[in-house]
Structures are given as structure tokens and as C-alpha cells.
């Protein structure tokens, strides 16, 4: 089931991409998952088939913030992929938007699949695998669509969604050819404090475990001024993942804005990460 959003058929600005294909945006219901979800979809106009990008949004631990979550968090990034011939699906995970509403006195409790528990015993691995499960549901459902190339799936995730992408890599889904993580990780901003991680050693232990089985080519992009996962921690994660056997290409970009953690949120950042992503995808067709 899907709803085409009105007045959202578009093409790239002539000054930027004179041959950019037209794309259109839709909102889909994903009925085949255990918990039905809405998903933003943007695709080239035409019958395809096209390769698929599944895009994972970040994580918020605040139920009120999650209740106001937008239909699409990284629209400029999604548009960049769609103009290059990908169908992009960005699910709104359980616990976000309407499913975040909680009224305990009326017996209504929001679903949230990505909690990590207490820092003293942070469940980083389990939180990542929860997001990975959702990715697999989305891939399975979208692979039934005639306009999708079933064996050409790319996963893109940011922050906690990027961490879920790493977890998915550990399971080596047959249809996934590449995974891209922007500022991937969990446990940042302990007690709301920048540059303070909940349990960095446990995070490294979890990424090491993922790396032992992950063989899907991965690209990790971080920035110098990421207040959630700074250079020291992101390098530790990449080195641990690679040492365990994971296949990762790590890029540390220069400072961006006031907090590089939100690089993928900004239209101004596309020109910074696009060449890196383009080169990576060209190496893993």
C-alpha cells in the first residue's frame, strides 16, 4: 500500500545536473513486518528495475522527541541516491511518530526497539540487531516489488541507525552488496553531555563481535567534531572491527558545522560526502 505525496515530482537543478532524472516521493505502509510501519520512498520515474537503498534514521531516547519524528530525516541524502538511479526506502521505526505515543494511565505504551538499558550493562549488540531485523523486513517486502533489483541492496544508516547497519553486516544478507554508516554508534551524550560515551569499552567489544562475522563491504564516515563519537572513539571502533575480520573503509572528514554528527542531515554536506560514497559504490557494484 502506498500514498503518492502531491506536488513532489522533481528533477535536479539544471545548473547542478542537467541530465538528472525525475523522481517522485511516496509514503508506503509496510504491512508484512510483525509491527506495521510507514516508510518514506523516493524513486526514479519509470518501471525499473532499480537497485534499492534502505536508509536507517538515528535514535532518540526521549519518547516525546520520537513522537514528533519526521516522515524522512535525511531527505537531501535520499534525493542524492534517487537521482543516481536508486529506489530509497526510509522506514519510520516502531517507537517513532504515531507509535511513540504513550498514555500509561490509558494502557497505551509506545514500542521502542532500540533501547540499550543501563550503562553498567549496556546492550549495544541487542540494540543493533533490533534495527537489523527491521532492515531485513524492509528488504524482504521491497524485494517483492517488480521495480526493485532484488540482489542489489545498499544500506545507509546514521548514528544509532548506522549501528544497526553494522549489526546487519554481521549477518551478511545475501542481497546486500554494500553498507554505509554515517557517525555510527550508540551510547553518545551520557547524561546529555557532549563528548561523553555511556560505555566506550563495551561499544568496542560489541563492534568486535560484529566484525568477526561481517564480510559485507562497509564504508564508515565520521567527522572531527562529532560530539557523540569523536575521532579517538571512531578510530577505535574501525580498528577493532577490521582486526576482527570486518571489511570496512574508514573516512574521517574535517569539522562540519557546530557538530559533525549531523553531517548527513544537511544539504550543504552532500558535496563533502558524495565523492567518497560514489567512489565506494563504484568499487562494489
> Domains in the chain, start-ordered, CATH in brackets?
2-167+252-283 (3.40.50)
176 to 66, 110, 231, 279: CA distances (angstroms) = 28, 30, 28, 18
The answer to whether residues 124 and 202 touch, using CB atoms and an 8 Å cutoff, is yes
**pLDDT category of residue 28 using cuts at 50, 70 and 90:** confident
User: Using CB atoms within 10 A of its CB, is residue 33 exposed (0-12), middle (13-18) or buried (19+)?
Assistant: middle
* Res 213: pLDDT: 98
User: What number of helices (H) and strands (E) belong to the chain?
Assistant: 7, 9
**pLDDT category of residue 97 using cuts at 50, 70 and 90:** low
1 or 229, greater pLDDT: 229
220 or 97, greater pLDDT: 220
Q: Which of 53-62, 78-87, 169-178, 189-198 bottoms out in mean pLDDT, i.e. has the lowest?
A: 53-62
Q: Which of 86-95, 196-205, 225-234 bottoms out in mean pLDDT, i.e. has the lowest?
A: 86-95
Spatial distance between the Cα atoms of 282 and 275, rounded to a whole number of angstroms? 11
191 or 251, greater pLDDT: 251
Q: Which of 106-110, 112-116, 153-157, 241-245 bottoms out in mean pLDDT, i.e. has the lowest?
A: 106-110
pLDDT over threshold 80, residue 157 = yes
Task: For residues 47-75, give the mean pLDDT.
Answer: 75
* Res 72: pLDDT: 73
Task: For residues 253-280, give the mean pLDDT.
Answer: 96
**pLDDT category of residue 179 using cuts at 50, 70 and 90:** very high
Give start and end residues of each alpha helix (H) in the chain: 63-67, 75-82, 124-142, 160-169, 200-213, 231-243, 270-283
Task: For residues 89-101, give the mean pLDDT.
Answer: 65
Q: Which of 72-86, 92-106, 253-267 bottoms out in mean pLDDT, i.e. has the lowest?
A: 92-106
The answer to whether residues 255 and 246 touch, using CB atoms and an 8 Å cutoff, is no
**pLDDT category of residue 174 using cuts at 50, 70 and 90:** very high
Amino acid at each position: 500500500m502506498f500514498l503518492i505525496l502531491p506536488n513532489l515530482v522533481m528533477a535536479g537543478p539544471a545548473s547542478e545536473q542537467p541530465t538528472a532524472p525525475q523522481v517522485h516521493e511516496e509514503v508506503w505502509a509496510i504491512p508484512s513486518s510483525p509491527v506495521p510501519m510507514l516508510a518514506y520512498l523516493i524513486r526514479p520515474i519509470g518501471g525499473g528495475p532499480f537497485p534499492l537503498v534502505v536508509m536507517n534514521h538515528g535514535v532518540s531516547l526521549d519518547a516525546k522527541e520520537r513522537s514528533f519524528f519526521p516522515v524522512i530525516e535525511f531527505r537531501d541524502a535520499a534525493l542524492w541516491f534517487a537521482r543516481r538511479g536508486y529506489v530509497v526506502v526510509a522506514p519510520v521505526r516502531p517507537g517513532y511518530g504515531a507509535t511513540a505515543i504513550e498514555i500509561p494511565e490509558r494502557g497505551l505504551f509506545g514500542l521502542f526497539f532500540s533501547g540499550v538499558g543501563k550503562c553498567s550493562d549496556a546492550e549495544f549488540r541487542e540494540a543493533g540487531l533490533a534495527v537489523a531485523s527491521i532492515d531485513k523486513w524492509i528488504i524482504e517486502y521491497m524485494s517483492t516489488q517488480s521495480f526493485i533489483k532484488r540482489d542489489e541492496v545498499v544500506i545507509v544508516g546514521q548514528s544509532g541507525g548506522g549501528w544497526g547497519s553494522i549489526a546487519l553486516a554481521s549477518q551478511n544478507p545475501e542481497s546486500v552488496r554494500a553498507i554505509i554508516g554515517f557517525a555510527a554508534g550508540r551510547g553518545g551524550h551520557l547524561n546529555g553531555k557532549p563528548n561523553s560515551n555511556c560505555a566506550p569499552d563495551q561499544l568496542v567489544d560489541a563492534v568486535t563481535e560484529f566484525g568477526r562475522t561481517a564480510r559485507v563491504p562497509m564504508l564508515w564516515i565520521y567527522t572531527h567534531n562529532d560530539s557523540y563519537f569523536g575521532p579517538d572513539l571512531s578510530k577505535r571502533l574501525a580498528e577493532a572491527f577490521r582486526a576482527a575480520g570486518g571489511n570496512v573503509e574508514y573516512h574521517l572528514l574535517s569539522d562540519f558545522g557546530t557538530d559533525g554528527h549531523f553531517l548527513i542531515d544537511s544539504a550543504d554536506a552532500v558535496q563533502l560526502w558524495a565523492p567518497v560514497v560514489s567512489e565506494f559504490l563504484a568499487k562494489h557494484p
